[in-house]
Amino acid sequence: MVILSKGDHVWLEPETKGEFNVAIGGRVKFTQSGKIQVIDDDGKEVWLDGKTQIKHMHPTSVEGIEDMIGLGDLNEAGILRNLFTRYMENLIYTFTGSILVAVNPYQVLPIYTSEQIKLYSDRKIGELPPHVFAIADNSYYNMKRYRHDQCIIISGESGAGKTESTKLILQFLAAVSGHHSWIAQQILEANPIMEAFEMPRPLEMTILVDLKSRIVNQAHDERNYHIFYCMLAGLSADERKQLDLKDATHYYYLTQGGDINVEQRDGGKEFADIRSAMKVLTFSDAEKSGKYSKFCLFYFILEI
């Protein structure tokens, strides 16, 4: 039995079990002689009829917490409520240990200034409120301290804010490393190419080659990387000639699956983006900077 007083925070368990049904938070508005009224987090007033299961909410869930490792109610409902209450206060970043959860604010928040970069520079994770700069700073200083490459994995559904987070990390790294923004510019320009490869986008120009078997061996209806078809279809005949490339039908490694057609996404913007990215990432640029680009792989695969 749960004894409740007015103002108490509670969890209201869902009446039906289901994949997407989780407990919702609420506050007791009225309680007298067995009658209890709760306002839930959606603002709905609910009279409890004895069927709804309720539980006291842990104080960490009431107030919200910067690092969810410390949540007293460490379950799906607790995590969602914590992110929700912080989001309502424009606190879009939350830690779970050293993992950062970012909720897309869909508005420009004044939290990415050069003052913020200075503030987050050379700090320990958790010393300051959660922020994408804290992750960038941690990687940068770990790289310097341990002389090891670092990797930041940015994951989320389409539109979650991965590209935006990548740009913010680059902004931070460019500022603290004192490198001119051409690195950031080149990497961002490579984005359409990396997307067409259906691969994680790189933060660094050194790219890990993920050799999937379909690169050299495609089953019926299977295709090689989207970028290959996209590039060959998107380049003009002159541009192809300049790069010593032919159209897709000429390449064994593009035709085994039988489908070489490529639909243009974004009304042709994809091709235009890839074209301008290619101008940035020419072989000579890659060689000059001592880096390798996926184009090497592209040429290598098509020419063997």
Ligand X SMILES: Nc1ncnc2c1ncn2[C@@H]1O[C@H](COP(=O)(O)OP(=O)(O)OP(=O)(O)O)[C@@H](O)[C@H]1O
Residues in region 78-107 near ligand X by CB under 6 A: 104-106
Stretch that binds ligand X, among 34-42, 60-68, 160-168, 284-292 (CB under 6 A): 160-168
Is 191 a binder of ligand X (CB under 6 A)?
Answer: no
As a whole number of angstroms, the longest Cα–Cα distance in the chain is 86
Is 113 a binder of ligand X (CB under 6 A)?
Answer: no
Task: Give the residue with the Cβ less far from ligand X, 162 or 226.
Answer: 162
Task: Give the residue with the Cβ less far from ligand X, 20 or 106.
Answer: 106
Is 161 a binder of ligand X (CB under 6 A)?
Answer: yes
Is 156 a binder of ligand X (CB under 6 A)?
Answer: yes
Residue 113 Cβ vs ligand X, minimum distance, rounded to whole Å: 13
Stretch that binds ligand X, among 156-164, 206-214, 234-242, 284-292 (CB under 6 A): 156-164
Is 20 a binder of ligand X (CB under 6 A)?
Answer: no
d(CA 127, CA 301): 47
Name residue, tokens 């379909």: 214
Residue 188 Cβ vs ligand X, minimum distance, rounded to whole Å: 11
User: What is the CB neighbour count within 10 angstroms for residue 180?
Assistant: 9
Number of residues that bind ligand X (CB under 6 A): 13
Is 213 a binder of ligand X (CB under 6 A)?
Answer: no
Rule CB under 6 A: choose which of 72, 159, 258, 268 binds ligand X: 159
What phi and psi values does residue 12 have, to the nearest 5 degrees? Answer: -105, 115
Rule CB under 6 A: choose which of 40, 164, 259, 285 binds ligand X: 164
Is 163 one of the annotated binding-site residues?
yes
Is 26 one of the annotated binding-site residues?
no
Is 226 a binder of ligand X (CB under 6 A)?
Answer: no
Residue 166 Cβ vs ligand X, minimum distance, rounded to whole Å: 8
Q: What residues contact residue 195 under an 8 Å CB cut-off, 6+ apart? A: 201
Residue 154 Cβ vs ligand X, minimum distance, rounded to whole Å: 8
CA distances from residue 201 to 96, 120, 297 in whole angstroms, order as listed: 23, 24, 16
Task: Give the residue with the Cβ less far from ligand X, 128 or 286.
Answer: 128
Rule CB under 6 A: choose which of 62, 160, 215, 243 binds ligand X: 160
Rule CB under 6 A: choose which of 155, 158, 249, 261 binds ligand X: 158
- Residues of the shown chain interacting with ligand X in the complex, contacts defined by CB under 6 A: 104-106, 108-109, 156, 158-164
Known binding-site residue numbers for ATP: 156-163
